[in-house]
Amino acid sequence: MKHIISALVQNKPGVLAHVAGMFAARAFNINSLAVGETEDPSLSRMTIVVVGDDRTVEQVRKQLAKIVTIVKVQDFAGQDVVARDLMLISVACSPEKRPEILALIEMFTAKVVDIGPKYVTVEVAGPESKIEAFIEACRPYGIKNMVRTGTIAMARQSRTAGQQDKDAE
């Protein structure tokens, strides 16, 4: 089973190496890893996707929590989350096929970020399933290059913004 783990970490050199070393030392595989600064510049958030049974992932979570530079660890299993991936993909795009490919891009609500005589580079953002579907739809045209961010995720808010505003009064 795929688990999304969020780790709030101190924004210091070596933290990523320490986390990656912990995974390697225990033979845990990282399916994807995304790291970025939070609203507090002294903290970064790591979103780590791992595949394993609940027991294995629980061990991963416990080992992460032991690392001194990690402030908080959260496994999103069983929670309602907003999760997104980002991908840039260059697809072969001959002049004859260009209308077809542009229609495909529109259908996936993707965005053309570069266009050349032989290829079009597209930005696709959304759930992993959307990214995978776009890749499969592009395969018949020919994929020149592709790069992905990996998953980023946040827990959904349990109440609407209007309810939260009323509670704050």
Scan for tokens 């990996």, then name that residue.
150
Closest Cα to residue 22, out of 39, 42, 41, 5?
5
| pTM of the model as a whole | 0.81
Give the phi and the psi of residue 154 in degrees, each rounded to 5. -140, 150
- Domain boundaries 82-153, CATH class: alpha beta
pLDDT in tens, 13-69: 999 999 999 989 888 889 999 999 999 999 999 999 998 888 888 888 899 999 999
**pLDDT above 70: residue 78:** yes
Asked whether the domain spanning 82-153 has the same topology as the one spanning 2-75, the reply is yes
Taking the C-alpha atoms of residue 41 and residue 140, their distance in angstroms, rounded to an integer, is 44
pLDDT tens, residue by residue, 149-159: 989 999 998 75
Fold of 2-75: Alpha-Beta Plaits (3.30.70)
Tell me what pLDDT residue 169 has. Answer: 37
Residues 136, 87 contacting (CB under 8 angstroms): no
Q: What's the whole-number average pLDDT of the chain?
A: 90
Q: Where are the domains of the chain?
A: 2-75, 82-153
